[in-house]
Chain A
Amino acid sequence: MAEITLVEAITQALAYEMKVDPNVIVLGEDIAKNGGVFRATVGLLDKFGPERVRDTPLAESMIGGLAIGMAIAGLKPVAEFQFMGFIYPALDQIINHAARIRNRTRGRMSCPAVFRAPYGCGIRAPEHHSESTEALFAHIPGLRVVMPSSPARAYGLLLASIRDPDPVVFLEPSRLYRWAKQEVRDDGKALPLDVCFTLRVGTDVTLVTWGSLVKETLAAAEMLAKEGISAEVIDVATIKPLDIETILASVEKTGRCVIVHEGARTGGVGADISAQLAERGLMFLKAPVQRVTGYDTIVPYARLEKFYLPSEKHIISAVQQIMEFA
């Protein structure tokens, strides 16, 4: 079995599901002949033909609305937005329609669509290509927000998202697209949504993260172990709805929590996790919950980009600050 990258795992999942479910349609800009600007959809046009693998005109609101219409009509569209920075014209469609069609028709109609987009900085791209604003979608009732961090989880979570009867915003970490390979069986097995994954068991501190920074968080945990600090690493994976129980169980054990995310600090998803920990986990906390995040600035252009993204050093520093707290 071949080892594949995260973006190849996306392709593998799409190919699998399109094979077993004729209702799955893939659409977006440059996704057919070109196979997607990151090659996420490469080969699908040859396998499944132009009816099911569609290059759209250049119009994001249209892509969102098209997908919703298809979904209402019983198809399972997987719509690609070329970058998270260009999903914004479709916010009206996603928020005002995808998220609420089931509710407002009392279940008569629903929207089993997946809205995929690469997100995040760190690839030295021009402006607008480095967004990490998952908090916007996490705020919207009726949506799911899923963010994979490894080839295996990309495969399993995308399958789950396509099969889910409700809309999913599926954000893929572009920085990790080709970083590292992993054995991913093409067996069609989905991973569960709405649950966190514990990637590393530890006893001294809980590191909560998702998406591209899982890489740095695992590396930081490794370095902390050398200093005698045992860190537990949790990959949130489904940002919304958030599985706080897993995080609480971990914090009950460790008494310390550091949340790591790329998106800007204010109103980031870390703030919600921190609030929930204060509400329900205060009994177990030996130190304040820390957040290691992107700054409250626009993601800078390529030259200053490296100063924006949190690093292992930042994570380690945050942990060290709370180890001797109480």
Chain B
Amino acid sequence: MSVFHLPDLGEGLAEAEIHEWYVKEGDTVTVDQPLVSMETAKAVVDVPAPHAGKIVKLYGKKGDIIQTHAPLIEFEGSASVQKDKGTVVGNLEESSAVLDEGDMIIGAAKKTANTVKAMPAVRALAKQLNVDLTAVTPSGPQGQITVDDVKKLAGQHAPKLGNVEALHGVRRFMAIAMQKSHQEVVPVTIIDDAVENPASQEKDFTVCMLQALVAAIHAEPALNAWYDGKNMERCIHQEVNIGLAMDTPEGLFVPVLKNVEKKTPTELRTEIDALKKSVRARTVAPSELQGATITLSNFGTIAGRYSNPIIVPPTVAILGCGKVREEVVAREGKMEIRKVAPLSLTFDHRAVTGGEATRFLAAIIKYLEEA
């Protein structure tokens, strides 16, 4: 609804007389349509509709005097009425939504179940150990479950296997060394057999293997090296220091025969025996356990044929020899019974190529078959 006031019809006239209405209450008019003629002191003037709309009320009849700016006509549903935006900046969004918030609770909702109290680290441990926290008896000062509480329950459910012992000494060292090897080395194992020369004499097999290694290193020096993965550097050694794996009741020892390339078979046997003795007596010096440039593992003296022996960093190769066995071999179309030595060569493929390794193995086999 809006009221149209009599405008100033000319230069500050104070009033005008309604001369003639052109419309009546109830009429719908368009913008600029003449509504009424007003007689002023100067003229008779038509007043047009300021906008379209339906006329609801006329504020006077013919002959009435209307003051300037006094109400003249009332419109219904006028477009000129500015809807109150109800703001002085911007735009407030309105919606027809009616909020139905259900039941608002003052404060907290009721507790449903008793929750376990455990620090995030304890929860993580429980998850790792597959322990159900709700079954754990808490012993912490604030009623919380502790690490020990979790471990206790974990232990209770594990099968009775005996006492848990922490690793010490040689076993500990082996575990650490093997883990490190696993994390760093990229191992490839090549497997082959060396067939004994039937005409060969009785020989010291271990010493023979040592000499085979020297010969193979001569052919492919790359396997007699140390590799530093962090800095990506390798060092091919001139000396051949062979680590010889030895099994003892305490665990695995790998004493090192230094400069094998310079020693005679007799010297090598003497040294091997000396090392074996000192290892068993636990008198072997730390320096004798260090500095290997390549490793030999004659596990076959006990059992086993082929394996994937683990490289001990920083070396890049290890030769494993399984149990020498008699076997039928094919020679020029004929069956023969020969002694066969199974060989497993693991090399670190970060520092040694397949070609180098296979040629190395071929050299080992050549030496052993011609020895």
Contacts and interface: CB of A to CB of B under 8 A. Distances in A.
Interface of A: 3, 5, 7, 30, 37-39, 82-83, 123-126, 129, 150-153, 174-175, 177-182, 191-192, 195-201, 203, 232, 243, 245-247, 249-250, 252-253, 255, 282-286, 302, 326
Contacts of A195: 106-107
Nearest to B118: A283
Contact of A150 (B93, B95, B99): B99
Given A179-B93, A253-B112, A326-B124, 7 more contacts: A124-B90, A181-B99, A182-B98, A182-B101, A243-B107, A250-B109, A283-B144
B90 A282 contact: no
B91 interface: yes
B86 A7 contact: yes
A199 B98 contact: no
Interface string B92-104: 1111011101101
A286 B93 contact: no
Contact of A129 (B90, B93, B99, B109): B90
A250 B108 contact: yes
Contacts of B54: none
A181 B97 CA distance: 6
A179 B94 contact: yes
22 contacts: A3-B98, A39-B84, A123-B91, A123-B92, A123-B93, A126-B90, A152-B104, A175-B92, A177-B86, A177-B92, A180-B98, A181-B98, A182-B99, A191-B106, A195-B107, A196-B108, A198-B105, A200-B102, A245-B108, A246-B107, A249-B109, A283-B142
B108 A38 contact: no
B117 A249 contact: no
Nearest to B92: A178
B112 to A, nearest CB: 6
**A-B interface, 3 closest residue pairs, ranked by CB to CB distance from nearest:** A125-B90, A37-B88, A249-B108
Q: For chain B, what secondary structure do more than half of its interface residues adopt (helix, strand, loop), or is it mixed?
A: loop
Nearest to A235: B104
Contacts of A179: 92-95, 97
Contact of A178 (B93, B107, B119, B123): B93
Contacts of B163: none
B334 interface: no
Contact of A249 (B86, B97, B101, B111): B111
Contacts of B166: none
A129 B98 contact: no
B266 interface: no
Contacts of B88: 30, 37-38, 82
A234 to B, nearest CB: 8
A285 B120 contact: yes
Nearest to A150: B99
B87 A38 contact: yes
B177 to A, nearest CB: 34
Contacts of A282: 119-120
A233 to B, nearest CB: 10
A174 B92 contact: yes
Given A197-B106, A253-B111, A326 B87 contact: no
Contacts of A151: 99
B97 A203 contact: no
Nearest to B105: A198
A181 to B, nearest CB: 5
Contacts of B112: 203, 253
B201 interface: no
A125 B92 CA distance: 9
Interface in B107-166: 107-109, 111-113, 115, 117-120, 123-124, 127, 142, 144
Interface string B174-216: 0000000000000000000000000000000000000000000
Given A3-B98, A180-B97, A250-B109, A39 B86 contact: yes
Interface string B56-96: 00000000000000000000000000001011111111110
Most buried by A among B87, B92, B127: B92
Contacts of A201: 105, 109
Contacts of A191: 106
Contacts of A252: 111, 115
Contacts of B95: 179-180
B92 A180 contact: no
Contacts of A285: 120
Nearest to A129: B89
Contacts of A198: 104-105, 107-109
Contact of A253 (B93, B97, B115, B127): B115
A326 B95 CA distance: 41
Contact of A283 (B84, B97, B106, B119): B119
Contacts of A82: 88
A201 B109 CA distance: 7
A203 B115 CA distance: 12
A17 to B, nearest CB: 21
Contact of A326 (B94, B101, B120): B120
A177 B118 CA distance: 43
A150 B98 CA distance: 11
Task: Indicate the member of B97, B99, B144 with the most A CB atoms within 10 Å.
Answer: B99
Nearest to A249: B108
Contacts of A178: 86, 92-94
Nearest to A197: B104
Contact of B101 (A83, A125, A150, A243): A150
